[in-house]
Structure 1
Amino acid sequence: MFDLFSGLDAWVLVSLILALAFVLFFEFINGFHDTANAVATVIYTKAMPPHLAVMLSGVFNFLGVLLGGIGVAYAIVHLLPVELLINVNTGHGLAMVFSLLAAAITWNLGTWYLGIPASSSHTLIGSILGVGLANALITDIPLGQGVNWQKAIDIGISLVASPMAGFLVAGLLLLALKAWRPLSNMHMTPDQRKQVDDKKHPPFWNRLMLVLSAMAVSFVHGSNDGQKGIGLIMLVLIGIVPSHFVLDLTSTPYQIDRTRDATEHLSQFYQRNSASLGEFLALGKVRGSEMPAKFSCDPKLTEPTIAALLGSLKGIQDYSDLAPDDRIAVRRHLLCLDDTAKKVGKLEGLDAREKDDLNKLRKDLTATTEYAPFWVILAVALALGIGTMVGWKRVVLTIGEKIGKQGMTYAQGMSAQITAACAIGLANVFSLPVSTTHVLSSGVAGTMVANKSGLQGGTVRTILLAWVLTLPTSMALAAGLFWLMTRFTG
């Protein structure tokens, strides 16, 4: 880890440390901002003492980050267009990272202070989109190319659909519990149980399910939200110290051979399908000597890009043997070929089997560029886990009492938490970022409606307003900050 600090100019070193601190601070805030979503039900229903619930939630958030993989991390990174990712320089990278993090932290702190269950995921995604659009305006790129809109649409669908699914599924699950055991104590609120049985805690099996589902929500929250921090740190490292992190320097000779083989097979794939792809890729029409001075990710330059990449990787068994500039060039070529392959996969004329082969080649192409060092994962896990143990009180009351007109029953808590854990876990499988806040709070709302408790209009309006305003506000903040910082850094 510490070798990344060697040989850096003083201002770059300070900027790097500040940028890493900003990301970890964002994850720390994310921890205490979203903790209440995982522990609100067990605390409100008195299934666990508050401090024990928060401590265990922190542990399971930590484990979620360590074991959650990096699929969501790079889904976040690839919201930015490939041209921005391959041509970022140190000054531009600093402006990009600081502006999107400052915007995200500002909105997160504001909504936490007001006790509003707002979404860290929406905030971060809005900030990234704001930076991408601002960069397009500054560099005279068409707005349609300023953001990876297909990835943004996929993520947007997951962010919109997951709360709706949470509302519906949690409500149906509660109705199933009511039909199964209509007279059970699990349909009491803590206050009602105290009045009837003079008991403080929920019934044993309900208590066990509340605790297990709360820890499951904590784990999947860590695995989903923690990856966002991992993606941000990789953006920081690639933007500020690219020579160390554009490629995974721990790649084995076998992994490098896979990358080289994938490149050769990609060339063969295009030749095999030249009848349908020849015009799109300008096959046989562009020579390597015709490559532009500034690298451009143009599908019509695919053949010279493949030739340049194979030339750079010839005989290479260790990425450390490449000069720093050559590592940057290899990453550019790999990202560009992957981006072009993704576009090719959407064209008409390829059958399902060919598209499947192309997707397999894309995975091998990016195997040594989409990675995260263990120390990055560990640092994010610690920041999120420690943050989870702080600041949880402000949102617990909102989740437990202020969404519905009556307090939450034990069965409602179980239904909302089980639904949230399953929904977020499923999103992790498909590498899609979702909002723990919105999935759980909408699940609680769904159980309130199913229980005929009614919803508190004021709280619901506040949550919906935060949901609607988070994306445009964070986009505007990040875009404005990015514009100012690019003026400052020149």
Structure 2
Amino acid sequence: MTLTLALVIAVIVIALGFDYTNGFHDAANAIATSVSTRALTPRVALLMAAVMNVIGALLGTEVAKTIGDGIIDVKQFAESSDESLQLLGLTIVLGALIGAIVWNLITWWFGLPSSSSHALIGGLVGAGLASSTQVEWAGIGEKVIIPMFASPVVGFLLAYGFMMILLWALKNRPYHRTMRRFRILQTISAAAMALGHGLQDAQKTMGVIVMALVAGGYAEHWNLLDADDSLVIPWEVKIASALAISLGTYSGGWRIMRTLGRKMIELDPARGFAAETVAAGVLYVTAFITHSPISTTHTITSAIMGAGATKSMKAVKWNVAKDIVIGWFLTIPAAAAVAAVTFWLVSLIIL
């Protein structure tokens, strides 16, 4: 086995490991509100989320293509038969993955719902800069930075507006009977949210795996580039990524679930339904229309804040929200720093 092939296999295994950590780290995104309002029991919610993750992961590939060639141009490695250049490309991907995994584990330990998506993007940027490889700043600005700031604002405002409409429409309905019905509706909204999580987040791992195959010189063997020189995501990569994130989701992310479901705000079933419905809608629009790899975490967290704020602005525990937002801003630079250090260490050994 050549060093290049060994590194390709290692990167794929680590990518699926990242996908697994993404699943248990972000399981709370899909089901925290449903569990906290007792619409679903934890294990039933996790099983439902795991199944919907698989389905969502198989519904599209545009986000995967954005990750695969919208941040680092890996096609330059595919066009080279020089093994040292291929190893360089694989080391960049390896550094990015380790940076993202380390940040995921740190934020999971402290119970902070940070973005696995932005951790991966930060990792790619950090490893790219450390290797002096061209980073696609224009694509990052359009597909990452703008959505990073826009999606939480949109999630908050839409959830607040949607919940206000629900309050107006249901103001004369008996409270307890209405909440029982919303518990049933939350089963649907939680499933929609879990599907959106698979649609967005599993695709990011698909993009990284294809990056590794292209960088390792397997683009032609796997038919990874179409006639327009765009990335093609093989069905084997789709299935592997879908199963990895699904297994991670089923293992649960209880620390983060407590933060989203209880510490930040006490939600009732109606507000949980509003938050999940809005967040799922934002995920679908960005996956199918804008092809932006947005953060599932940012979207659902801001939607929870928006729906909760309809009680009163004091209902949201803004000190907890502040810690979450600080984590959001730290994610890209922190993951980039770990990825850069990883790249330097690995490059000392194999380059």
Q: CA deviation at 1:149?
A: 1.1
RMSD: 2.1
Given that residues 185 and 203 in structure 1 are in contact (C-alpha distance below 8 angstroms), is that contact kept between their aligned partners in structure 2? no
Q: After TM superposition, give the deviation of residue 113 of structure 1 in Å.
A: 1.5
Q: Is the 8 A contact 1:45 1:202 kept in 2?
A: no
8 Å contact from structure 1 (residues 238, 245) kept in 2:
no
Query: Any idea what the Cα deviations from partners look like across 1:282-315, whole Å, max 9, x if unmatched?
Result: xxxxxxxxxxxxxxxxxxxxxxxxxxxxxxxxxx
Partner of 1:72: 63
> For 1:243 and 1:218, how far apart are their aligned partners in 2?
32
Percent of aligned pairs with the same amino acid: 33
Hey, what's the Cα distance between the residues in 1 that align with 2:222 and 2:155?
38
Q: Which residue in 2 is equivalent to 1:149?
A: 137
Q: Which amino acid aligns with 1:227?
A: Q
Superposed displacement of residue 74, structure 1: 1.2
Q: Which residue of 2 aligns with 1:93?
A: 89
Distance 1:209 1:131, change over 3 A: same
Distance 1:110 1:23 in 2: 18
Q: Which residue of 1 aligns with 2:295?
A: 435
Paired residues of 2:104 and 2:116 also in contact (CA < 8 A): yes
* Distance in 2 of aligned mates of 1:39 and 1:482: 36
What do residues 228-266 of structure 1 show as CA deviations (whole Å, max 9, x unaligned)? 0100000111122436547349x8xxxxxxx4xxxxxxx
User: 1:167 and 2:156 equivalent?
Assistant: yes
Larger Rg: 1
Kindly indicate whether the alpha-carbon contact (under 8 Å) linking 2:78 and 2:219 is maintained by their aligned counterparts in 1: no
Q: Verify the 8 A CA contact 1:237 1:245 in the aligned structure 2.
A: no
Which residue number corresponds to residue 249 of structure 2?
A: 388
Matches within 5 A, 1:171-186: 171-184=160-173
- SS of 2:309's equivalent? helix
1:24 pairs with 13, 16, 19, which one? Answer: 16
- What is residue 219 of structure 1 aligned with on the other side? 195
Give the match for residue 283 of structure 2: 424
2:343 is aligned, of 458, 467, 482, to 482
- Residue 399 (structure 1) aligned with residue 233 (structure 2): no
What is the aligned residue count? 343
Residue in 2 that maps onto 1:103:
99
Structure 2 unaligned regions, length at least 5: none
- Conserved 8 A contact 2:46-2:252: no
Please report how far the alpha carbon of residue 103 of structure 1 lies from its aligned counterpart in structure 2 after TM superposition.
0.5
Could you tell me whether the CA contact under 8 Å between 2:86 and 2:216 is conserved in 1? yes
Q: SS in structure 1 opposite 2:112?
A: coil
TM-score under structure 1 length normalisation = 0.66
What is the distance in 1 between the residues matched to 2:104 and 2:153?
Answer: 23
Offset, 1:109: 0.9
Q: Which residue among 110, 114, 120 is the counterpart of 2:116? A: 120
Question: Which of residues 226, 240, 249 in structure 2 aligns to 1:379?
Answer: 240
Matched residue type, 1:422: G
1:446 Cα deviation after fit: 1.1
Structure 1 residues 391 and 87: alpha-carbon distance in aligned structure 2, compared to 1, 3 A threshold: same
* In 2, Cα distance between equivalents of 1:46 and 1:32: 20
Match of 2:35 in 1: 43
Q: Indicate the SS of the match to 1:116.
A: coil
Describe the shift of the 1:82–1:379 C-alpha distance in structure 2 as closer, same or farther (beyond 3 A).
Answer: closer
How far off is 1:159 after superposition?
1.6
Contact 1:159 1:434 in 2 (8 A): yes
TM-score (norm 2): 0.92
Kindly report structure 1 stretches of 4+ aligned residues shifted beyond 6 Å: none
Change (3 A) 1:34 1:245: farther
Corresponding letter in the other structure for 1:221:
H
Give me the whole-angstrom Cα distance separating, in 2, the residues matched to 1:20 and 1:179.
51
Change (3 A) 1:185 1:229: farther
Residue 448 of structure 1 corresponds to 308
| 1:162, distance to aligned residue in structure 2 (A) | 0.6
In 2, Cα distance between equivalents of 1:451 and 1:468: 27
**What do residues 191-219 of structure 1 show as CA deviations (whole Å, max 9, x unaligned)?**
xx6xxx9xxx9413x12221111101111
Counterpart secondary structure, 1:450:
coil
